[in-house]
A and B are shown apart, each in its own frame.
Chain A
Amino acid sequence: MISTYYSLVLMAVIWLVLLWAGTRWQGAAGRRSVKLGFGFAAVLLLFLPVGGLQLWSWTFGFCPNPSFPLLGIVCAGLWQRLFGLEVFKPADWNATWVFGAVTGSALYFHPMLVGSLDLYYWGWEHAVSAWGLAALAIAFLARGNRLGVLLLGALIGYSLRALESENAWDYLVDPVYWIVSLAVVVGQTVARALAFRRAAKLRVPAPASA
């Protein structure tokens, strides 16, 4: 089950990357046959033998617990590229990136900052984790944000123990999702700051001539 789930996630990622690359370089990814061809290529790539192991097995060794928000992001992106349907709205994307950046930073950096506090340990408290995930999902759903749907997915995955990990944190965030989220949030912040600076420059009145 774990391998199947992992293969599906990786296939979706490869498919999305091929669609993105196809649009960017060839402009041919708009044709349905090309899109399906990329999907077929993604499946083949999964089983590409590299050094005696299939490609999916290599990546599984390095990142064995892809989180459910990561899966949701990939599927939303894939859906948009395949069918032109915008599943996630800007507010949903913003919430997803900020959530990934904050949650990942807290989980991965806290041992260096707060000594003996061990957030990851609480992910093994199953009842607490289940209600914690539910509360997070409800908080976003109540605001109408689609990140809540991804968190509901994480809760369902956790209930079924769909990942190799039995720790609830691994259903919520993973290093890939965290790094991408951090990059997006930092990039957006820098872009916003530059835009603000540019606008401020434009607002400065020209000095009056003597």
Chain B
Amino acid sequence: MESPSEPRGADSGCLRSPADRRVGRLSSRQRVALIAVTLAMGWFAARHAPPALVSAPRSSRAAHVAPVVPAPTVGTVTLPEFAQLWVSPQGHVRSTHSSAICVLPSGDLLAVWYGGTREGAADVALFTARLAAGTSVWTAPSRAVDRALAQTELERSIKKLGNAVVFPDQTGALWMIYVSVSMGGWSGSALNVKTSRDEGRTWGQSRRLTLNPFLNLSTLVRNKPIYTDDGRIGLPVYYEMAIKFPQILWLTPGARGSVPEYRLRNLSAETGLIQPALVPLGHDRMLMILRDRRPDRRLHTAYSEDNGWSWSAAVPSELPNPDSALDAVRLADGRILLVYNHAQHGRDNLRLAVSADAGRTWRAGPVLEDTAGREFSYPYLVQDHTGTLHLTYTWQRERIKHLRFNVAWLDREMRAEPPSED
């Protein structure tokens, strides 16, 4: 029976001690029943949990889809090849930036970038274009995602769109991971994923990835992923709110482009280093090259001995970095090819550099662009099935440029380059 002083609806008090009744605790019977339900739910949740991917991958490789086949040769000499193409046509939008490309399973190239009246404007959309294998003209840009579509698909307010990357998984599905912002500047970013089953001609619904505890703010993407033998995709991302540091997003592809499992690991306790570029070196080793937002303005490198799971401390390299994105690939002969802005301030030049000792030392290579007061930035470098290298980058914020060259051209240019004094 309820005591008159207890509020209406309070527990009837069966099996309740006088002390419990004073403070209004649950009765013993209620406790036992609820604990039993909790244990049952714990068992159910643990039993139906996806397999835990808590260990380092056994092996990894760069985001190429097929083994490299030899390029055409004359006798034993490979002919140097170099071509300049335009991904985005002149004047298609006022401002373009942050391109990414990937080699599709068919051998075609697909590029994605964002464009609009200016960076961060509400009319900025993500565009894609395709270069069919063996051709030299990119298709007209196709609007893949704009703010209205992202709002509809994500069921929330979207203020602006930003960086995007595209890559195929090992099942043939094509993935697009893109940045959207609902409030604030770029530090208010969140990542979203879309997948395509027809090499980017049509895309499925966007899905928001929850990667941070505080309102899921401030994860951005820029560089290409690595693949592991157990099917995981390791996508380098970075955190930008207040403290800035690199992270790796481990994605497990499911059936028909689904994402049944993902998790984010911090790569370094050091701050001020973002936009990590990952380069698998073979034998479980991996190189990470980082953009420097700190005053010393040097490219930083770090190493992993377990396929990107854990990392050494980042150390400054001999190359400068004007707080700008970079990219790198490992060539078939083991050298690392880097593309970056060779300056501590400004993005008015774009240059190649080669390392023959896994990124410890660098030899500066050919200058690709150099015009004072202009911007050449955000390079993205991939190698296709034939070994040809494809580099896209922001050209004066007006267009996306594509350079296509082979290793023979690179070697010829490196021979012509005087030894660097840096």
Question: How many chain A residues touch the partner (CB < 8 A)?
Answer: 61
Bitwise, A52-63 to B at CB < 8 A (1) or not (0) is 010001101111
Majority-rule SS of B interface residues:
loop
Q: Are A91 and B25 in contact (CB under 8 A)?
A: yes
Say yes or no: A86-B158 contact (C-beta < 8 A), given A108-B214, A142-B35: no
How many A-B contacts at CB < 8 Å in the complex? 151
Closest to A160 in B: B45
CA A144 to CA B33, docked complex, whole Å: 12
CA A61 to CA B151, docked complex, whole Å: 9
Q: Are A146 and B156 in contact (CB under 8 A)?
A: no
Closest to A159 in B: B45
Question: Which residue from B37, B46, B264 sits with its C-beta under 8 Å from A127?
Answer: B46
Question: Which residue from B10, B27, B156 sits with its C-beta under 8 Å from A60?
Answer: B156
Bitwise, B244-273 to A at CB < 8 A (1) or not (0) is 000000000000000001111110110000
Q: Are A164 and B52 in contact (CB under 8 A)?
A: no
CA A202 to CA B43, docked complex, whole Å: 56
Question: Which residue from A51, A133, A166 sits with its C-beta under 8 Å from B262?
Answer: A166
Closest CB of chain B to A101's CB: distance in Å? 15
Q: Are B42 and A155 in contact (CB under 8 A)?
A: yes
Chain B CB within 8 A of A175 CB: yes
Closest to B24 in A: A89
- Residues of chain B within 8 A (CB-CB) of A128 are 52
Within 8 A of A (CB), among B41-69: 41-42, 44-46, 48-50, 52, 54
Beyond the given A116-B268, A125-B52, A138-B38, could you list 11 further A-B residue pairs with CB under 8 A, ordered by the A residue number? Answer: A53-B156, A61-B156, A64-B208, A65-B210, A89-B23, A92-B24, A134-B45, A137-B38, A141-B26, A144-B27, A159-B48
Nearest first, the 4 A-B pairs at minimum CB distance are A144-B25, A134-B42, A89-B24, A61-B156
Residues of B whose CB lies within 8 Å of any CB of A are: 7-10, 20, 23-27, 30-31, 34-35, 37-39, 41-42, 44-46, 48-50, 52, 54, 151, 154-158, 182-183, 208, 210, 212-216, 243, 261-266, 268-269
Return 30 A-B CB contacts under 8 Å, by A number. Answer: A58-B157, A61-B157, A62-B182, A64-B208, A84-B7, A85-B9, A86-B9, A90-B23, A115-B269, A116-B268, A120-B213, A120-B264, A121-B263, A124-B263, A125-B54, A126-B46, A126-B50, A127-B52, A134-B41, A137-B34, A138-B38, A138-B39, A141-B34, A148-B26, A148-B34, A152-B37, A159-B44, A165-B210, A165-B216, A166-B261
